Each structure stands twice: as structure tokens, then as C-alpha cells.
């Protein structure tokens, strides 16, 4: 090497050792406009923090924007309704990426179709289709119940339904519906990001692994990650579009 190449190389090596995904973050030279549904949730708050930390412009959506107390020059807090396609279109216009991280059950039907996760995906996809070439990309935070514990057997199939709260059962089934539906969609740029079965409040380590349909386990047989590190994976995906029209799983 010639001249002053060594100092820059050493700095890059140190950076990668401290944060293996730093190179991916640095590659995102263009500021993204990111719309986050569920911005006050346990995952959404970390996504907002991670995206702002990288210099992106974030529109945080809540049914009650007053709950979003954080102040930042690149942060806008707005009211939104995933059951209203006109509201979705208004907020999605001008965005580069829409991230959905919501949960809940709507109404009293007690069917998987009443899960907000499913309704959100269905309504956002319908809206993005109408927007055509101007539509942003969609990243949906899916459910670990859709992961396979062995070929052809989902984690959801192994859960003791007798002891599950009914609403949680509907949410799991709603996430399965959402994934099955997205896999039929070829005219919208979507990604289904799957967290592990154990999400923790642990510190941001800056590391994670990705996989496909199979549940990822660490050397101790655990399937987990901190919400802060899961948020890194989501924002990395927003920047890279590496998992276009497919599901990917995240864990340590």
C-alpha cells in the first residue's frame, strides 16, 4: 500500500470489529424517508431510534400522536389508521419505506382475519398497488410462529393452544395469513422480517444473523435477540433492500 492508505484501512477494520454491520450503514449515503406504524411499540420505538441515529427522516405513526414525546429535527409524529386506506395513502406518499410493527385484534369476530397484523398488510398492499411506481417499499414485522422448527412444521403448530390467550392465538394466525398472502404478491416490493420467539430488552450489541424459514438457534439452542438489535436488522433492510419479495428471519 502507498501513502496514507494504512490509517484508513486500520480504521475500517476497527469499525467492522466493533460493529459488523457498520459497512452496511455507511453504504446508505442517501437519507431515506421512513414511515413507521407502531412507532410507540416495543419494537417500533427502537426502529425510530435506530433510523434517526443513521440520519434518516422518520414519520412515526400512532393513533394518538401525543404518546410520541421524543423530539428530533428528523422526526414527525402523526396520527394514522391502518384500517383506513385513504389515511395510509396520505402518509405513504413521498416515503421510501413503510415499516409495520403492530399487534392486536379488531372487533369481536374472533377469527384470524380480525388480527391487526393481517388487516394492516392487506390494506397497505392494496394502497401501494394503487400508488404504482410511486409506491414505497414495505417491511412487515412478522411473527415467530411462522418459523419452521423442522421441515414443514411451524413453531405455531407446536404451541399448546389450550393455554394460549385467544387474542394471542388470533394474532399468530393473522401473521400466518399475512405471510401466505405476501407470498402471492408480485407487484409490490415487500419484505416479511421475522423476529425470534424471544425478544429481550438487552443492550444493543450491533450483531445479528439472518436466515430463511427455519428457526435460528445459537450455540445454547436459544432463539432470541434484543429489540435494539432486531431494529438494526430492520433499518439495514430498509437501506439495502436485500430481501426483496421474501421473508427473512433474524436472531443471534
pLDDT tens track for 92-139: 999 999 999 999 999 999 999 999 999 999 999 999 999 999 999 999
Q: What is this structure's pTM?
A: 0.88
Instruction: Answer yes or no: are the C-beta atoms of 194 and 250 closer than 8 Å.
Output: yes
Region 164-189 average pLDDT = 97
Q: Is the dihedral of CA 137, 173, 202, 66 positive or negative?
A: positive
Considering the domain architecture, whether residues 171 and 66 belong to the same structural domain is answered as yes
Considering the domain architecture, whether residues 201 and 149 belong to the same structural domain is answered as yes
Look at residue 2 in the predicted model and tell me its pLDDT.
31
Look at residue 16 in the predicted model and tell me its pLDDT.
37
More confident residue, 13 or 159: 159
Considering the domain architecture, whether residues 81 and 8 belong to the same structural domain is answered as no
Look at residue 162 in the predicted model and tell me its pLDDT.
81
Beta bridge partners of residue 90, listed in sequence order? none
Region 141-168 average pLDDT = 94
Region 164-181 average pLDDT = 96
Considering the domain architecture, whether residues 107 and 50 belong to the same structural domain is answered as yes
pLDDT higher than 50, residue 154 = yes
Considering the domain architecture, whether residues 5 and 117 belong to the same structural domain is answered as no
Considering the domain architecture, whether residues 16 and 59 belong to the same structural domain is answered as no
pLDDT tens track for 64-77: 899 999 999 999 99
Residue 16: give the domain boundaries: 1-30
Considering the domain architecture, whether residues 222 and 122 belong to the same structural domain is answered as yes
Considering the domain architecture, whether residues 140 and 168 belong to the same structural domain is answered as yes
pLDDT higher than 60, residue 7 = no
Considering the domain architecture, whether residues 59 and 26 belong to the same structural domain is answered as no
pLDDT higher than 80, residue 29 = no
Look at residue 78 in the predicted model and tell me its pLDDT.
97
- 145 CB-near residues (< 8 Å, 6+ apart): 154, 155, 156, 159, 172, 175, 176
In the chain, what is the straight-line distance between the N-terminal and C-terminal CA atoms, in Å? 36
pLDDT tens track for 197-234: 999 999 999 999 999 999 999 999 999 999 999 999 99
In this structure, what CATH number is given to the domain that contains residue 173?
3.40.50.720
Domain count, the chain: 2
CA-CA distance, 88 to 237, in Å (whole number)?
A: 21
Considering the domain architecture, whether residues 68 and 13 belong to the same structural domain is answered as no
Amino acid at each position: 500500500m502507498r501513502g496514507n492508505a494504512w490509517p484508513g484501512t486500520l480504521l475500517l477494520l476497527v469499525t467492522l470489529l466493533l460493529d459488523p454491520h457498520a459497512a452496511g450503514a455507511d453504504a446508505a449515503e442517501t437519507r431515506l424517508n421512513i414511515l413507521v406504524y407502531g412507532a410507540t411499540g416495543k419494537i417500533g420505538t427502537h426502529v425510530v431510534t435506530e433510523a434517526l441515529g443513521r440520519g434518516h427522516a422518520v414519520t412515526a405513526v400512532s393513533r394518538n400522536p401525543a404518546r410520541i414525546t421524543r423530539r428530533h429535527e428528523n422526526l414527525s409524529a402523526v396520527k394514522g389508521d391502518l384500517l383506513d386506506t385513504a389515511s395510509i395513502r396520505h402518509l405513504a406518499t413521498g416515503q421510501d419505506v413503510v415499516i409495520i410493527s403492530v399487534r392486536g385484534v379488531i372487533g369481536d369476530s374472533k377469527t384470524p382475519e380480525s388480527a391487526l397484523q393481517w388487516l394492516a398488510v392487506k390494506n397497505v398492499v392494496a394502497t401501494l398497488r394503487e400508488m404504482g411506481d410511486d409506491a414505497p417499499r414495505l417491511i412487515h414485522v412478522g411473527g415467530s410462529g411462522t418459523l419452521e422448527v423442522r421441515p414443514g412444521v411451524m413453531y405455531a403448530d407446536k404451541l399448546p393452544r389450550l393455554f394460549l390467550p385467544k387474542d394471542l392465538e388470533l394474532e399468530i394466525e393473522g401473521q400466518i395469513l399475512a405471510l401466505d398472502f405476501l407470498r402471492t404478491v408480485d407487484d409490490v416490493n415487500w419484505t416479511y422480517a421475522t423476529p425470534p420467539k424471544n425478544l429481550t430488552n438487552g443492550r444493543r450489541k450491533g450483531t445479528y444473523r439472518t436466515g430463511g424459514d427455519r428457526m435460528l438457534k445459537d450455540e445454547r439452542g436459544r432463539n432470541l435477540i434484543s429489540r435494539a438489535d432486531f431494529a438494526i436488522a430492520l433499518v439495514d433492510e430498509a437501506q439495502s433492500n436485500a430481501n426483496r419479495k421474501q421473508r427473512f428471519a433474524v436472531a443471534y
